[in-house]
Structure 1
Amino acid sequence: MSSVLKARKWIQDAKDHIKGLKQASNKANRRIKVAVIDTGVDLANNDLSPYERRIKFLRGNAEDNKDYDGHGTMVVQLLLSLTPNIEVYVYKVADSRGSLSLSLDQIKELAQVNGEMAKKSIGIDILNLSFGFADADEPNLEPLRSALQYIHTVNKVLVLAAASNDGGHASVMWPASEASCAICVNSSDGDGNPSYFNPTQRPPKFCTLGEGFELRLTKGQMERAKTNTTEPSEVAQNRAESGTSFATPVAAALVVMILQFADSNVEAADLSEKDKHRLRKLRTHPGMMQVFKEKCVEKSLATRGEFYYLAPWFFSLKLTNIYGLLETLQRV
């Protein structure tokens, strides 16, 4: 079976499992909100039509945040197709995936956007960063480092960041390399095998589906792609994409599912105030990573090729799992 067919089946299996959460999540007080900072989003993409009302912008409007690359659109599409009842807040930080390394001015602007996100009453729960920086010690990154640490520690925003696609040739990109700033996400194929392009890194290592996604370029994206190549006739409208960039929104969707499960079952489980307080650890990086290791793998604490392979169907949506979550969070 090709990587595309495996990914297609994986996504459908994930949707089928997460459907079990839909009724409960609609009863929750508020929607989970995910911020996507990337190349923007193209609302002309037909795959986004069912979700358009759930797409909002951190700054500007749809035209200001229009995606001419397809990278950000794919990230948004994966999030919305996998998770019921969420809102996605988009911010375009670069015109193409190749320019996601960012200039000093762009880094300062990104830090400012994160600061605004903290001050506004948007209430972002998760920040998806499907890019990173090669040198974690670059002084120019300090404003962004401070902003990420602030929104996590003060606003309890869970930050998920892509590891990188350079295999053994490079280490994990920042901020994925710094646990105080982000949870690092690696890629797997549709069978749960860690991808060959995952970077060298220390444990704990998490991976989820990141291979074989079908990217469909819109008319505008096609036109832009043709102007940026010497062989316009070779630009394909549909192509298979892989990378830790796309595993990151899949992992973010898993986080959404876990948060929705907890939010929706607190009252039904008749939890004490102490237990409700313990559940707040879900909104910390150590807490969520512990849940990944124990509750989102085929067998608690079991690894596959040194990676914790994460999939939605490993996480039970039965009410009794709320007590399992509490037990797991006791170890954080």
Structure 2
Amino acid sequence: MIRVIYSELDGPEGLTLRLEASGHAGYAPAGQDIVCAGASTLMQALVSLLAGEKTARSDAWDEPKGPRLAVTAAAPQEPWVEGAFELAKAGFALLAERYPDNLRFADLSRRGEAAMMDLQLFAEGGSETGGAGSAPALSEAQSRQAIASGTLKPGREEAAPPETPKEEIPKTNPGPEAPCPTPEPPRPPLPEHLPGRQAVAALHSRWAAEEAALRQVVPEFSLKAELQHPEMRRLMQLPGMRMADAYRLAHYEDALRQTAHAVEQGVVERIRQRASRPAENGTRPGSAAVTGADVSRMTRAQREALERKALHGEVITF
């Protein structure tokens, strides 16, 4: 069984917070134990949240009964550090409620002891009197805490507050309005030095710059729309992949089809242009121009030859 203990040590500078988990859950064989996996995840999340915090410290020991992990935050600490411990405590309380035979959680702080004292008084009063006349009502969070710590068993009727009939208020004579509950104070913002925040901000900045550069070439490009395609999402998850390269690879077949269509249209257009162009010299067989004989350009020998043909009765035509 895993035992998780939360405690607070009061010192001159304030409270020192400590969360310790030890043992094996024994829910399933090694490698299949979901309770051990859940407890380990909660402790690792707390260590990751407190990474870089000067007052925080984490330790681990390998003992005969199983590993023992402890996370401590010395005083003084930032307000959000206490919130990180509260998150881990809530997770362990839920695990203890779901798997009471494999994990127990105990809050040994002053607030936790006061809550457990009220729960124990309620359990004793309910078992002795058998009614709900002297027993205080339990909230849902207190019921979960009582079941997780073993004070109450799941399914006991004493843990449920009695139902009281609501009194109807006459509409003609309404009573004084109940005061509004005091709103909770706003929670402090998360620190800027949380691990991973700077890396995520740098990635978003790089994506914005690459998207702007890609829109100069492809005006209709939208990263939000492209991430709807599984192939684009897979390529963007590869380490070192640029947005432009991922876009070209994701639309490679589309680019081939567009190129083939453009080439085909160009060939058709050139054939159409050649068919409509008038014939020029050198595009048809034969001489470039056909002209008649010019007597003025003939030599004397050519003219005498024509005279002899005419004397012999030959008809000369030009």
Shorter-chain TM range is under 0.3
TM-score by length of 1: 0.20
Q: Which has the higher contact order (CA 8 A, sep 6+)?
A: 1
TM-score by length of 2: 0.20
